[in-house]
Structure 1
Amino acid sequence: MAGKADDSRVNIRPASDGDRAAIWQVLAPVFASGDSYPLPRDITEEAALDYWLGPAHEVFVAEDEGKLLGTYYMKANQPGAGDHVANCGYVTAPAATGRGIASTMCRHSLDHARHRGFRAMQFNFVVATNDRAVRLWQHLGFDIVGRLPGAFRHPERGFVDALVMFRSLP
C-alpha cells in the first residue's frame, strides 16, 4: 500500500533491498542515542538490519525526493490467537524530526493495518520519557493501558517506566 501521506511531498512505500544502507543511516543515530529503543546502543549495522527487516516485519520507508526520512515496520503483535492486533516500530531520521514524519508514518500504518484486517494496534514498550512520542500516539487515539515500572534503562535518566499503548481500529 504505497502512496502519498499527509505531507504531499512525503511518499511512503514498501522497503526494498536497495534501501538497506539508507535505513541503517536512519536507525543508527536513534539506536545509538539509547533513549527510545531497548536495543544495545552499540548494535552493529548487520544486527540492526536483521532486527528491523526481520522476516515477520513488513517494512516501509518514508521519503521525500528520494531521501529517506523515516521507516517503520508492522507485524502481528502475537502469533496465533493474538495475530489480529498489529504492532509497529517507527524511526524518524534525526534531521527530519519535527516535520510530521512520525505522524505521517503512523497514520499510514493505521490505514495499512485496517487494510490487512487487523482489529487493533498495540505498542508494547513506549519509553515514558519520550514525551513527543507519547503525546503523538495519544493524539492519534492510543490510550496508555499499562505501565512497566523502571523497565527501561535510560542513558541519562536511569531506570524509567515503559508504557503499553493500545487503540482499536474501527
Structure 2
Amino acid sequence: MELRTATAEDWPRIWPFFASIVQARETYAYPLDLTSDQARELWLQPPPDHAVVAVEDGAVLGSAKMGPNRPGPGSHIGTASFMVDPERSGRGVGRALATYMIDWHRRNGFHGIQFNAVVETNTAAVHLWQDLGFKIIGTVPEAFDHREHGLVGLHVMYLPLT
C-alpha cells in the first residue's frame, strides 16, 4: 500500500465510497444531499490543509484530510478526517492513514490533534484513536442522528504532540 498526496484526478475514485459513507449516516455529519463537487471542495482543500490517499494496485483504498482545526490563534492544533472504502476495511488502511496523519502534524509543528466529532458508536474508530494515544476529553450527548441507533453522542478526542 502506498500513501501519497491526493489529487483532483483521485476524486472520481474517492467519491463513490465518500458518498456511500455519508449516506450510511453512521460516522459523518455531512449533508445527505452533498454533491460530488461540494464534497471535493470540502475534502481536497488547499494548504495549509493536506489530503492523502492510500493506493494499492491502482485502487484508492481510503483517504484522509488534515490541517489546522481552527484558523488564527487556534491553528497550532490540528485535526483530520478519514474515510476507508467499506469494501477495503480490515486491511490496516485506517491505521496507516492515521499514522501518516500524526507524523504529518508533528513534521508541520502542530502542538496537538483534536477530533471534534467522533461518533461514540463508531467503536472501531474510537478504539483506533485510543490505541494511538488519543483521549476522550468530552462527549456531546445526542449530537449525532445515527441511522440505526438514533441520537448518540459525539466524542471530542485529543492527542498532545509535545
TM range (shorter): over 0.9
- Looking at structure 2, the residues matched to 67 and 55 of structure 1 have their Cα atoms a distance apart, in angstroms, of 23
Q: For 1:1-170, list aligned pairs within 5 A.
A: 10-55=1-46, 57-170=49-162
- Listed as ranges, the gaps of 5+ residues in structure 2 are none
Q: Please give the TM-score of this superposition, normalised by the length of structure 1.
A: 0.91
- Aligned sequence identity (%): 37
- Looking at structure 2, the residues matched to 66 and 94 of structure 1 have their Cα atoms a distance apart, in angstroms, of 17
- Amino acid of the residue matched to residue 59 of structure 1? A
What is the CA-CA distance between 1:43 and the residue it aligns to? 2.1
1:86 alignment partner, SS class: strand
Please report the RMSD computed on the Cα atoms of aligned residues, expressed in angstroms.
Answer: 1.1
- Listed as ranges, the gaps of 5+ residues in structure 1 are 1-9
- Looking at structure 2, the residues matched to 82 and 43 of structure 1 have their Cα atoms a distance apart, in angstroms, of 28
- Looking at structure 2, the residues matched to 169 and 66 of structure 1 have their Cα atoms a distance apart, in angstroms, of 33
The list of structure 1 runs, each at least 4 consecutive aligned residues, that deviate by more than 3 angstroms after superposition, is none
Q: Please give the TM-score of this superposition, normalised by the length of structure 2.
A: 0.95
- Looking at structure 2, the residues matched to 74 and 16 of structure 1 have their Cα atoms a distance apart, in angstroms, of 14
**Kept in 1: contact 2:63–2:82 (CA 8 A):** yes
- Amino acid of the residue matched to residue 9 of structure 2? G
**Kept in 2: contact 1:34–1:40 (CA 8 A):** no
